[in-house]
Amino acid sequence: MGFLKGLANSIADPRLFFLLAVGALLLAVWKRETVASNGVGYGLLGFLGLFFLFGTFDANFRLIVTKPDNVPIVGLIFLLLFFVWYSIREGVLNDRRIAAGNGPIEKAESDRVWVWPDLVYTELISLILCSVVLIVWSIFLKAPLEQPANPANTPNPSKAPWYFLGLQEMLVYFDPWLAGVVLPSLIIVGLICIPYIDKNPKGNGYYTFVERKAEITIFLFGFAVLWASLIVLGTFLRGPNWNFFGPFEFWDIHKLAALTNVDLSEYIWVRGLRTGLPQQWYIREIFGILLVLFYVFALPVILAKGLFKTYYEKLGAPRYYVATFLFLMMMSLPMKMLARWIFNLKYIVHISEFFFNI
C-alpha cells in the first residue's frame, strides 16, 4: 500500500508526469491499431477508476479530489481519456474501411433521415438525461462557499479557476507577460488559424488518422498533453507556494523546494567565460537575444529548407510561416520545461530593466 502510494507520488512528479504523457500520446498514435480495441479503452478507464477508488481510502487524496470545484476535473480526466481513445478508435476503424476500398462509415451513412422524429427525439432524450445528471449532481454536491472575501488574508496556494490552471502552471516556466498574455493570445489566434493553414482536403467530415497524421498528432499534443494535463497537474498536484505534491502527499506548507535556477547570461559569462556579468543589458543578454531571434526568425527558414521542406512546398510561404511560427511558439513551452529540468535554466533573456524576461 505504502509502496504503491510512493510510486504514484513519484510518477506524478511534473517531469515524469509530463514525459509519460508525451510518451503515452506517441505510443497511442504509433500503436493505434492495438489501442483501438475495446479491451484497451475500457481497460484504461477501469484502471483509472480503480486508481481513484484506491485513492479515496487515503485522506490526502480524498481531500484534494473531493474539493467541490475539483470534482468536475475528475470527471474531465475520465471524459478526456475516453474521448481521445474513442476518436482514435473511430479513426482506425475508418482507416481500415478506406484501405479495404469501402470508404468511411460516414459515407455509408450519408443518406438522409427525417429530422422529425429521428433528431428531435434524440435531442429530447439527451436534454432529459442532461437535466437528470445536473439535478442529481446538484443535490449531492453542494456548491462551495468559503469565508467571506478578505483582501488581507491570502490563501496559500491561491489558484485561478480550474480551466486557467494550465496557464498558471506555465508561470513556473515563463513570466506573466508570456504565460498570461502572449501565449494565451497565440492559442486563440492559432485555433482560429487552423482551418486557414490546413490545406489537406482529405479527412473532411469523417474520423480518420492516416489521412491527417501530422494535424491530429499536433492537436492531440496541444490539447491533451499541454492544455489538459497541465490543468490536471495544476489542480491536483500543486500545493502551498505552488510546490509539487504527489496525490498521496500531505500539503505541508513548510515544504522546501530548492531554487537554484540560473540565467543563460550567467551560464555563459560567469561559468563559461569566467568573467563578471557586463554592465549594459544589451551586451549581457546578447547571447539570449540572438538565440530568441534565431528561434523566431531563422529557424523557420532553416526548417523550410530541411526538415519541413515538404510542408513548405505543400503549404506555400505565407501558410508555412504562420503555421511554423505558431508551432514553434507551442513548442517553446516543452522546450523551456526541459531546459529548466535539465539545466535549471531560469531565463534565456533577462532584462529586468524593462520587465522583459523570456
Number of residues that bind another protein (CB under 8 A): 91
Beta-bridge partner residues of 349:
none
Q: CA 223 from chain center: how many Å?
A: 5
Residue 163 near another protein by CB under 8 A: yes
72, three cell numbers = 468536475
Residue 158 near another protein by CB under 8 A: yes
Residue 141 near another protein by CB under 8 A: yes
Q: Pattern 59-98, binding to another protein, x per CB under 8 A? A: ----------x--x--xx--xx--x---x--xx-------
CB 13 → another protein: shortest distance, Å? 24
Q: Which of 20, 40, 105, 335 binds another protein (CB under 8 A)?
A: 105
170, three cell numbers = 506555465
Residue 117: asked if its preceding bond is cis (omega within 30°), the reply is: yes
Closer Cβ to another protein, 77 or 299, answer by number? 77
Q: How many CB atoms lie within 10 A of CB 264?
A: 20
Q: Which of 7, 115, 253, 301 binds another protein (CB under 8 A)?
A: 115
Residue whose C-alpha is closest to residue 32's, from 200, 198, 207, 230 = 207
Residue 275 near another protein by CB under 8 A: no
**Cα 326 from Cα 338, distance rounded (Å):** 19
Q: How far apart are the first and last CA of the chain?
A: 43
Residue 206 near another protein by CB under 8 A: yes
Q: Which of 216, 237, 315, 345 binds another protein (CB under 8 A)?
A: 216
Closer Cβ to another protein, 23 or 144, answer by number? 144
**Looking at this protein, which amino acid is placed at residue 307?**
L
Closer Cβ to another protein, 175 or 249, answer by number? 175
Closer Cβ to another protein, 5 or 168, answer by number? 168
Please check whether residue 74 is in contact with residue 68, taking contact to mean a CB–CB distance below 8 angstroms.
no
Residue 334 near another protein by CB under 8 A: no
Residue 139 near another protein by CB under 8 A: yes
Distances from the Cα of 348 to the Cαs of 181, 267, 292, 298, in angstroms?
18, 10, 8, 17
